[in-house]
């Protein structure tokens, strides 16, 4: 017997297999996972933008890749006018961990504001049926009540280490909301917690904590090092969502019926964005111990407190997405195992 949700006649699958789907940022960790997820579900009409590499895994996929400069408004407008996508996953962004955000604030605010503005405006001009804008849990105040609800947005000062990036993502949310109000578009912003998984960035200087520690422990194991350095005190708490869960949530939201979207996600002044997370967090030290065990490193942890901790906690309240029929299912231990296996097979 189906649950009440599945029986809801409005719970219709929105995206047809023949619709043209544009993934901005197709070679990134999230963009490539969205394509993987949708190909598995039988979709085969994709066009993707990439600034850099062509992924080995995508060479045999039904995907047309274009090297469009998303920072160039004319190029983006020409692209949309020529390709006329039906659905857009806006997964292109300049992203990075705490050190990258702290070191390149101008790049983070400029590039993200320009990329999202170009794509959101072109999506409206070309009557895209639905656009999904990917933000980040760093949009919430540094000392927001935990777990953080969508209504906590703009209720306090942001975390200084990533304020420029957060401001850009908040502007993206407000652009979606404003176009929905003025032009009756369906532009939805999804706010994921810290993501990890295949095709992540493992560069020590610019990566997030989870991939950085996978690489640190792996290299320490191979070199038989006695210790691994963890930045900060190890006491901040973080929530981690595997990118395959994230893309499943993105597809779920993109397939919600118009009735559900208009009632729950674009009905201003209710927030037009939605948290995506597991609803569980751990300390950085607990994460390090999980990765240490998974990698099989036998040495010690050393904490470098000259490095910033960043925000003390940023656990998302996921009850809205749960009420719309989705919850995460990849456990951190299993997700770390998958990410480590991908790393070992790729480097
Ligand atoms: O993942 P992360 O760089 O970013 O750092 P945030 C999370 C925590 O892990 C911080 C600690 O307390 C770091 O000090 N950490 C320990 C490390 N060892 C390491 C390491 O080797 N590398 C890194 N990178 N961290 C980001 C925002 O904040 O969250 C982004 O800056 C984005 O804009 C992202 O929002 C989701 O979780 O602190």
Q: Rounded to the nearest whole angstrom, what is the distance from the C-alpha of residue 157 to the centroid of ligand 1?
A: 19
Question: What are the sequence ranges of the domains in the chain?
Answer: 18-197+240-277+314-330
262-306 residue pLDDT tens = 999 998 888 889 999 999 999 999 999 999 999 999 999 999 999
| Cα–Cα distance, 28 to 243 (Å, whole number) | 11
Q: Rounded to the nearest whole angstrom, what is the distance from the C-alpha of residue 181 to the centroid of ligand 1?
A: 35
The catalytic site residues sit at 165
**18-197+240-277+314-330 CATH fold:** Rossmann fold (3.40.50)
Sheet with 87-90: list strands edge to edge. 63-66, 46-49, 21-24, 87-90, 130-134, 187-192, 273-276
| Alpha carbon separation from 205 to 65, 148, 215, 228, 279 (Å, rounded) | 28, 28, 12, 15, 28
Per-residue pLDDT, 12: 52
User: Does 307 sit in the ligand 1 pocket, CB within 6 Å?
Assistant: yes
User: Does 309 sit in the ligand 1 pocket, CB within 6 Å?
Assistant: yes
Asked if 264 and 324 touch (Cβ cutoff 8 Å), the reply is: yes
Asked if 87 and 130 touch (Cβ cutoff 8 Å), the reply is: yes
Among 170, 195, 231, which is best to mutate for testing ligand 1, by the most ligand atoms less than 8 A from CB?
A: 231
Per-residue pLDDT, 177: 97
162-174 residue pLDDT tens = 999 999 999 999 9
Query: Buried b vs exposed e over 250-259: b needs ≥16 C-beta within 10 Å?
Result: bbbbbbbeee
pTM: 0.94
Per-residue pLDDT, 180: 95
Helix (H) or strand (E) holding 224: none
207-228 residue pLDDT tens = 999 999 999 999 999 999 999 9
Q: Rounded to the nearest whole angstrom, what is the distance from the C-alpha of residue 314 to the centroid of ligand 1?
A: 11
pLDDT at 7 over 60: no
Percent of the chain whose pLDDT exceeds 70 = 96
| Cα–Cα distance, 221 to 172 (Å, whole number) | 42
73-103 residue pLDDT tens = 999 999 999 999 999 999 999 999 999 999 9
User: Does 135 sit in the ligand 1 pocket, CB within 6 Å?
Assistant: no
- Bridge partners (DSSP) of residue 42 are none
Asked if 287 and 249 touch (Cβ cutoff 8 Å), the reply is: no
Among 29, 91, 96, 97, which is best to mutate for testing ligand 1, by the most ligand atoms less than 8 A from CB?
A: 97
Q: Which atom of ligand 1 is nearest to the CA of 102?
A: 31
CA atoms within 13 A on the CB side of 222: 6
125-166 residue pLDDT tens = 999 999 999 999 999 999 999 999 999 999 999 999 999 999
Helix (H) or strand (E) holding 192: strand 187-192
């Amino acid at each position: 017997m189906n649950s009440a949700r599945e029986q809801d006649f409005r719970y219709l699958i929105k995206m047809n297999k023949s619709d043209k789907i544009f993934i901005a940022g197709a070679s990134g960790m999230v963009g490539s996972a969205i394509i993987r997820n949708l190909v598995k579900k039988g979709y085969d009409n994709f066009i993707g933008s990439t600034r850099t590499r062509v992924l080995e895994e995508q060479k045999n996929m039904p995907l047309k890749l274009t090297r469009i400069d998303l920072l160039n408004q004319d190029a983006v407008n020409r692209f949309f006018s020529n390709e006329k996508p039906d659905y857009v996953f806006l997964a292109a962004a300049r992203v990075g961990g705490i050190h990258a955000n702290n070191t390149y604030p101008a790049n983070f605010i400029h590039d993200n504001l320009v990329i999202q503005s170009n794509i959101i405006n072109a999506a409206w001009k070309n009557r895209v049926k639905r656009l999904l804008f990917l933000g980040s849990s760093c949009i919430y105040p540094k000392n927001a009540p935990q777990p953080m609800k969508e209504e906590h947005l703009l209720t306090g000062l942001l975390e200084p280490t990533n304020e420029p990036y957060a401001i850009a993502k908040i502007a993206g949310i407000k652009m979606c909301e404003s176009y929905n109000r003025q032009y009756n578009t369906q532009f939805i912003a999804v706010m994921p917690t810290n993501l990890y998984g295949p095709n992540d960035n493992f560069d020590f200087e610019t990566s997030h904590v989870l991939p950085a520690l996978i690489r640190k422990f792996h290299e320490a194991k191979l070199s038989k090092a006695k210790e691994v350095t963890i930045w900060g005190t190890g006491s901040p708490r973080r929530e981690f969502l595997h990118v395959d869960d994230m893309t499943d949530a993105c597809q779920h939201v993109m397939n919600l019926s118009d009735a559900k979207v208009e009632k729950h996600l674009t009905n201003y002044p209710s927030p037009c964005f939605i948290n995506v997370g597991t609803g569980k967090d751990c300390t950085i030290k607990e994460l390090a111990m999980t990765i240490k065990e998974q990698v099989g490193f036998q040495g010690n942890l050393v904490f470098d407190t000259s490095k910033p901790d960043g925000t003390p906690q940023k656990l998302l309240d996921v009850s809205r997405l749960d009420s719309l029929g989705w919850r995460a299912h990849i456990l951190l231990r299993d997700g770390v195992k998958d990410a480590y296996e991908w790393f070992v097979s790729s480097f």
